[in-house]
Chain A
Amino acid sequence: MDVKRDRPVVPASVSDGPTGDGLVAGARSIAKGFAYTARAGVSKPLTVRYPKEKLTVSPRWRGPLALRGVLGRDEIPLLRAPSYAYNETIDGLYRADRLPPCVGSCPANVDARGQAYLIADDRVVEAYELVRDRNILPGVLGRICHHPCESACKRNFFDEPIAIRPLHRFAFEEYRKVRHERISPFPRTQGKSVCIVGSGPSGLAAAYDLLKLGYRVVMYERERKPGGALNTGVPAYRLPREVLYEEIDDIVGLGLELNTGVEVGKDVTLPSLMREHDAVLLAVGLQQSRILPIPGTDAEGVVGALEFLWSANFKHEAGVRGKRVLVIGGGNVAVDVARCALRVGASEVRLACLESESEMPCHPWEIAEALDEGVIAMCSLGPEEVLTKHDTVVGMRMRSCLSVFDEMGRFAPKFGDETTDVPTDVVVFAIGQAPKIDTIVAGTELLVSGRGQLVVDGTLFTTSVPGVFACGEIVTGPGSAIGSIATGHEAAVSIHRYLQGLPLDGDRVARPVPVYQKHAPADTRGIESNRRRAVMPMADPEERAKDFRQVELGLTRQEATAEAMRCLRCESEVCVGCTFCARTCPDYAIKVERVDEAGARCLTRYDLDLTKCCFCGLCAEQCPTKALHHTGQYELSFWHRDLMVFDKGEMLRPPTGTRATGRDGISPPGCPVPRREDG
């Protein structure tokens, strides 16, 4: 703390000045004053000799506003790149701070912005195909995705997020009508073949990428129908199976050789596949439910979630008709199980979880829908013992849970003393899934950890055997469909590099998932109806709980177009006329008008009245697209006040000059010109 010791100490009273009174002290002080000014007089002046020299102006300098581009003149860039370069593209945008939050927060970086742009432009099929590049099953994910994109959507800040997921679904519905015309096999240019074990979302994503790159891709699926967990695990009320099959059909149409009903390890062996193909990708997912090691779990009436869902989905019968069901777990699977149980005729469904209501790991909208349908949630309860009678479940003893996570945020539940007995007939454990790969890896040198997990590099997706790769939940653990798809894409890149003889890591980018600002639900009072989010029509809760019909009914074309137009096209640097600059401006200096019609959307007017602007920077700060920005200009002299109103054309000129005097013969070219009266 040397600095502090050097610091002058505040006197008890400042009244005793630095010098005393009296003639001598006074004369001395005056002499010191002369010395001080003399020293100043001979020292170098501080002046910056404008205009010859100029101060460097801060990069944040809030100069006058300009636009980088406007809708109708400039296109929104679509995030399209070959899969092996896609991450670099995203990374470049991320570094330049130009990554839209929806794209950045999506594990697979699906270009939701481009989708909205194309749908609003009435190019729905193109939008579908754009999405499919990164999200192999848009129609499926459009129904079941947990849409992190919508949570990050910048529109959250302004009012309500864009309905990205329903737009996927809408795009698929439109695409469906023309899908047969749009599908033709990718040419096989590489002459090498890849085998993919498992037809879940991650396997399909890898298959799509590899097919696109020109490889021969052979896929094996144990079940009779493809789709992996999407096929077996997701309840039909959320995902009609024909959607899934249709989309997989498309991929088959692109050249995928799909073999269903073939179980690797039984019907064919992995070593033989490894011999047969140049590379093998294991995308087998998690196949068995975890069950807690507590007393009574071997009794009749205790089932795992996967088994339960499988039978509910395929048989529409899980042996719970008229029985009381207790679902253990608070995740999305648990909610799925609970809702399925209602649909297969359970008389009462309870959901017990460790976490409190606000901490439940499932998505809030899921639990809300489940509660609507009559599921009873019991929070902060930990399973202690399954009560049995004659080896049959009669109830469950639960212990109250005080806290689930410790201070560091790790899972370390603390239990209280109270216990409750919940009478029930069936207990479904939905507390997670585990891999089951011992039969698959038999006969290979693949390393398997003690807990039965395959040893996989988390970023390159290589296993201990060259040429064998893995992706999907087998790598990441239980997760979302879109997360699995993301790993599939990455694994495909690895395989491609492996087959091309390139170093696997090389310059591949492992980008941190950006954290975006969370926003509380905005106050929507007083805002215009066309700014509101399209409401997804839902089936009536009373009705829908009875069968496996879809709950969400989908958007109409009109709704979808309007919704796509709400998209702010974040970070595109093209003004979309969202009017939030005009709405935020404390001086009301900006006037924006635009035409909002599919196919004919453009800004008709963008006026900036520089006479009113207070250079506060709120508009540019809030501009979602960063089209509106401050120029570093600061010389803003005008001979006339009229020169100070800039229209769209003037604002688009690059600020090459430093002066905005208008057309006075002095200004450099590119400076704003006098405003032309409209008409």
Chain B
Amino acid sequence: MAAIDELAEFLERTPGGGILLTTVDAVMNWARGKSLWTFPMGTACCAMEFIAASFSRFDFDRHGTIPRPDPRHCDVMVVAGTVTRKMMPAVKRIYDQMPEPKWVVAMGNCAVSGGIFYYDTYSVVRGVDEFLPVDVYIAGCPPRPEALQDAILQLRKKIATESISKRRTRPLVSDLALPTDPRKGDLLSAADADEEDEAPATRSVSA
């Protein structure tokens, strides 16, 4: 259990800790969002664009995002490339090695759904969300390095909706109602979402 969980529990028990919790949340989310160290789970073509994103031309480091080869030091796993059935256990294992809180970015359509390798192939896992909880999907084959940078910025926005407390639910800043199962697609329709503006949708934040 990380120190942060103890802190969250303590704040929840303490009267008036709720306000503090909100502040701590804000600080933590800011810090986490601005310091997203990535694990480059580069398997195929997208890895090249990942490299490009962290090199001179695009420079990930400007956003405080540095690629670290060691999963223990990372916050975000960027799955860049096709994941095959042979590779899947390794990816899963590396994900498990990452310390909480951790996020997953599925970069490129192979990681999103298998992409071009969706049909007719026997060895490709159709999307890493079959075995990892993906936070941000990037379409592209491969996506431009800018798209990856944009995904990190999007992930920041997503992190901003989270709380250190496991019990706490926070209103989403966005009006995007998130489905419980991304595959089911029980999304609110656009019209419904508009109505939700007054009473923002809530969801419980889970790891």
Please measure, in the bound complex, the distance between the C-alpha atom of A607 and the C-alpha atom of B136, giving whole angstroms. 22
User: What's the nearest-Cβ distance from chain B to residue A592, in Å?
Assistant: 17
Q: In the complex, what residue of chain A is closest to B190 when comparing beta carbons?
A: A673
Is B14 close to A, CB under 8 A? no
Please measure, in the bound complex, the distance between the C-alpha atom of A674 and the C-alpha atom of B127, giving whole angstroms. 20
Check A46–B57 contact: CB distance below 8 A. yes
Q: Which of B25-33, B94-102, B171-179 contacts A (4 or more CB under 8 A)?
A: B171-179
User: What's the nearest-Cβ distance from chain B to residue A406, in Å?
Assistant: 51
Contacts of B134 in A (CB 8 A): 641
The B151-165 residues at the A interface (CB cut-off 8 A) are: 151, 153-154, 157-158
Q: Mark B122-163, 1 if CB is under 8 A from A, else 0.
A: 000001010000111111110110110111011001100000
Is A644 close to B, CB under 8 A? yes
Q: A47-B62, A641-B182 are in contact. Are A612 and B116 (CB under 8 A)?
A: yes
User: What's the nearest-Cβ distance from chain A to residue B139, in Å?
Assistant: 4
Q: A641-B129, A677-B185 are in contact. Are A634 and B179 (CB under 8 A)?
A: no
Q: Which of B109, B137, B157, B182 contacts A614 (CB 8 A)?
A: B109
Q: A47-B56, A54-B146, A634-B140 are in contact. Are A642 and B187 (CB under 8 A)?
A: yes
Check A637–B57 contact: CB distance below 8 A. no
User: What's the nearest-Cβ distance from chain A to residue B92, in Å?
Assistant: 19
Q: In the complex, what residue of chain B is closest to A61 when comparing beta carbons?
A: B144
User: What's the nearest-Cβ distance from chain A to residue B191, in Å?
Assistant: 9
How many of chain A's residues have a CB under 8 angstroms from any CB in B?
45
Contacts of A23 in B (CB 8 A): none
Please measure, in the bound complex, the distance between the C-alpha atom of A641 and the C-alpha atom of B140, giving whole angstroms. 13
Q: In the complex, what residue of chain B is closest to A640 when comparing beta carbons?
A: B182
Q: Which of A612, A634, A666 contacts B115 (CB 8 A)?
A: A612
Q: How large is the interface on B (under 10, 10 to 19, 20 to 34, 35 or more residues)?
A: 35 or more
Is A415 close to B, CB under 8 A? no
Check A641–B112 contact: CB distance below 8 A. yes
Contacts of A644 in B (CB 8 A): 112, 137, 139
Q: Which of B113, B150, B174 contacts A665 (CB 8 A)?
A: B174
Total A-B contacts with CB atoms under 8 angstroms apart = 146
Check A611–B139 contact: CB distance below 8 A. yes
Please measure, in the bound complex, the distance between the C-alpha atom of A641 and the C-alpha atom of B113, giving whole angstroms. 8
Check B141–A614 contact: CB distance below 8 A. yes
Check A639–B127 contact: CB distance below 8 A. no
Q: In the complex, what residue of chain B is closest to A677 when comparing beta carbons?
A: B185
Contacts of A666 in B (CB 8 A): 154, 157, 174
Check B188–A674 contact: CB distance below 8 A. yes
Question: Secondary structure at chain A's binding surface: helix, strand, loop or mixed?
Answer: loop
Check A611–B113 contact: CB distance below 8 A. yes
Check A664–B176 contact: CB distance below 8 A. yes
Check B119–A588 contact: CB distance below 8 A. yes
Is B10 close to A, CB under 8 A? no
Contacts of A610 in B (CB 8 A): 109, 139
Is A55 close to B, CB under 8 A? yes
Contacts of B154 in A (CB 8 A): 637, 639, 661, 666
Q: In the complex, what residue of chain B is closest to A611 when comparing beta carbons?
A: B113
User: What's the nearest-Cβ distance from chain A to residue B140, in Å?
Assistant: 6
User: What's the nearest-Cβ distance from chain A to residue B30, in Å?
Assistant: 17
Q: Mark A608-619, 1 if CB is under 8 A from B, else 0.
A: 011111111000
Check B153–A612 contact: CB distance below 8 A. no
Q: A45-B56, A612-B109 are in contact. Are A659 and B150 (CB under 8 A)?
A: yes
Contacts of B138 in A (CB 8 A): 636-638
A-B contact pairs, 25 of them (CB 8 A): A47-B62, A54-B146, A55-B146, A64-B139, A588-B118, A612-B113, A612-B115, A613-B115, A614-B141, A634-B140, A635-B146, A635-B147, A636-B150, A637-B137, A637-B154, A640-B182, A641-B183, A644-B137, A663-B175, A663-B190, A664-B174, A664-B175, A665-B176, A674-B189, A675-B187
Listed from nearest, the 5 A-B pairs whose CB atoms lie closest are A611-B113, A614-B116, A636-B139, A665-B174, A635-B150
Where the two chains meet, the residues of A that have a C-beta atom closer than 8 Å to any C-beta of B are 45-51, 54-55, 57, 64, 586-588, 609-616, 634-642, 644, 659-666, 673-677
Known: A587-B116, A613-B139, A674-B193. 20 other contacts (CB 8 A): A47-B57, A48-B58, A50-B146, A611-B127, A611-B137, A612-B118, A613-B115, A614-B116, A634-B146, A635-B146, A637-B136, A637-B147, A641-B113, A641-B182, A659-B150, A662-B176, A663-B175, A663-B176, A664-B157, A674-B187
